[in-house]
């Protein structure tokens, strides 16, 4: 029999995160592959989830999301960015940012429509576009500074461009798009009458005073921008899968039409808990970033001491390094062998590219781990040099 999997999904197989986490488990490796923290987030948030479960909030929440989370998302956008939203029509709660991305692409793209995105891209972008029968058009960001190349970005647009799928701060590079880069993206989107779908899940995880600029806050962009975020990163609750989409009411309604038939609703008791999180004082948000910045510094220093060339990230959970000095010639096979060889798991950047030769030896390491865990990983990596 032919493969049971539809052709457009055949290139996707099992995600790199699942593969590398399985290898990490098998070999007892320090897992700097899949990005999830090894400590809990704010106690208030955890307690609110327990209270919601014990308080009987265990049935289907409303299709849009629980009212206090809709209100909290709208209040958060106004408090941090001055973006005003009607919580009832301009906010939709989803099963994590992942569902928000898939539902948005499925809602907005006809088969054959083109979606512009930057490479390396988060893996679900390519899969989401494939699900919708869309066509991916990419602009490559190159190590070590990952700056946007205007010529290449312009070339990715055409009269079939339906949307730009942007991610700032950016996974896997840790890049925060600059105002000038965002202005260029927005200008091209306007010229081609395209939507901008912007994944801002790392909005609060910025370092060294870097400022995250939400696309929807830029002049003339609110009417053509759908913004996606999630509570997973900010509150260290990646397993709760509470995400959201905000934007013009008609577009949010379109996404909801699709979302209803993906999960209908999800994460009932976790929704009010994330609402509590979004309302916490500013120092909680800056504290998360400060902790991560320290962890970044520990890992960057360790990787450098091991002889790697590192692109220092200004945000997110991730650092990209060139593993050639450790003998890597192909990042995928290097990462596949690493858990067994030295007991560390990481992710090859090549899998986030259409053209894997764009980043043959780049490896992504997650630093959302306790400093002692990062130091142990670095000690193990150093064995590659001595051994």
Would you say 41 or 272 has its CB closer to ligand GLN? 41
When binding is defined by CB under 6 A, the residue of 31, 94, 171, 198 that contacts ligand GLN is 171
Q: Which of residues 210-239 bind ligand PMP (CB under 6 A)?
A: 230, 232, 238
When binding is defined by CB under 6 A, the residue of 113, 181, 199, 322 that contacts ligand PMP is 199
When binding is defined by CB under 6 A, the residue of 243, 277, 302, 348 that contacts ligand PMP is 243
Residue 97 binds ligand PMP (CB under 6 A): yes
Would you say 307 or 356 has its CB closer to ligand GLN? 356
Would you say 238 or 295 has its CB closer to ligand PMP? 238
Residue 174 binds ligand PMP (CB under 6 A): no
When binding is defined by CB under 6 A, the residue of 31, 34, 167, 225 that contacts ligand GLN is 34
Choose among ligand PMP, ligand GLN, none what residue 308 binds, the Cβ cut-off being 5 to 8 Å by kind: none
Residue 22 binds ligand GLN (CB under 6 A): no
SS (H, E, C) the chain: CCCCCCHHHHHHCCCHHHHHHHHHHHHCCEECCCCCCCCCCCHHHHHHHHHHHHCCCCCCCCCCCCHHHHHHHHHHHHHHHCCCCCCCCCEEEEEHHHHHHHHHHHHHCCCCCEEEEEECCCHHHHHHHHHCCCEEEEEECCCCCCCCCHHHHHHHCCCCEEEEEEECCCCCCCCCCCHHHHHHHHHHHHHCCCEEEEECCCCCCECCCCCCCCHHHCCCCHHHEEEEEEHHHHCCCCCCCEEEEECCHHHHHHHHHHHCCCCCCCCCCHHHHHHHHHCCCHHHHHHHHHHHHHHHHHHHHHHHHCCCEEECCCECCEEEEECHHHCCCCHHHHHHHHHHHHCEECEEHHHHCCCHHHCCCEEEEECCCCHHHHHHHHHHHHHHHHC
When binding is defined by CB under 6 A, the residue of 31, 77, 167, 168 that contacts ligand PMP is 167
Residue 125 binds ligand GLN (CB under 6 A): no
Residue 77 binds ligand PMP (CB under 6 A): no
Residue 309 binds ligand GLN (CB under 6 A): no
Instruction: Please give the residue ranges that form the binding site for ligand PMP (CB under 6 A).
Output: 35, 96-98, 122, 167, 171, 199, 201, 230, 232, 238, 241, 243
Instruction: Please give the residue ranges that form the binding site for ligand GLN (CB under 6 A).
Output: 15, 17, 34-35, 171
């Amino acid at each position: 029999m032919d493969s049971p999997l539809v052709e457009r999904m055949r290139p996707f197989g099992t995600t790199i995160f699942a593969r590398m986490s399985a290898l990490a488990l098998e070999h007892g490796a320090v897992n700097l592959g899949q990005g999830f923290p090894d400590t809990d987030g704010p106690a208030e948030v955890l307690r609110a989830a327990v209270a919601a479960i014990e308080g009987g909030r265990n049935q289907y929440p409303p299709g849009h999301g629980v009212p206090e989370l809709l209100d909290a998302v709208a209040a958060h956008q106004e408090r941090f960015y001055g973006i005003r939203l009607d919580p009832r029509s301009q906010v939709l709660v989803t099963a994590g940012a992942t569902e928000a991305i898939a539902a948005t692409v499925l809602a907005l793209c006809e088969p054959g429509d083109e979606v512009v995105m930057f490479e390396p891209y988060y893996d679900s972008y390519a899969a989401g576009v494939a699900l919708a029968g869309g066509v991916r058009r990419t602009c490559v960001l190159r190590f070590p500074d990952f700056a946007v190349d205007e010529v290449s970005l312009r070339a990715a647009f055409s009269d079939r461009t339906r949307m730009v799928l942007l991610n700032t701060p950016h996974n896997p590079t840790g890049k925060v798009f600059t105002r000038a880069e965002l202005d260029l993206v927005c200008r091209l989107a306007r010229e081609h009458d395209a939507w901008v779908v912007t994944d801002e899940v790392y909005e609060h995880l910025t370092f060294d005073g870097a400022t995250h600029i939400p696309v929807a806050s830029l002049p003339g962009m609110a009417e053509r921008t759908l913004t996606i975020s999630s509570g997973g990163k900010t509150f260290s609750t990646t397993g709760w899968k509470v995400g959201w989409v905000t934007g013009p009411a008609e577009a949010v309604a379109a996404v909801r039409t699709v979302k209803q038939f993906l999960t209908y609703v999800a994460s009932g008791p976790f929704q009010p808990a994330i609402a509590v999180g979004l309302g916490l004082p500013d120092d909680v948000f800056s504290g998360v970033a400060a902790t991560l910045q320290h962890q970044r510094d520990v890992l960057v220093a360790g990787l450098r001491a091991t002889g790697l060339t590192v692109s220092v990230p200004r945000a997110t959970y991730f650092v990209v390094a060139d593993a050639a000095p450790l003998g890597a010639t192909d990042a995928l096979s290097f990462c596949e062998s690493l858990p067994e060889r030295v007991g560390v798991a990481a992710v090859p950047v090549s899998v986030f590219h259409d053209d894997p030769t764009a980043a043959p030896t780049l490896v992504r390491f997650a630093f959302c781990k306790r400093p002692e865990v990062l130091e142990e990983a670095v000690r193990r990596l150093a064995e590659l040099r001595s051994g």
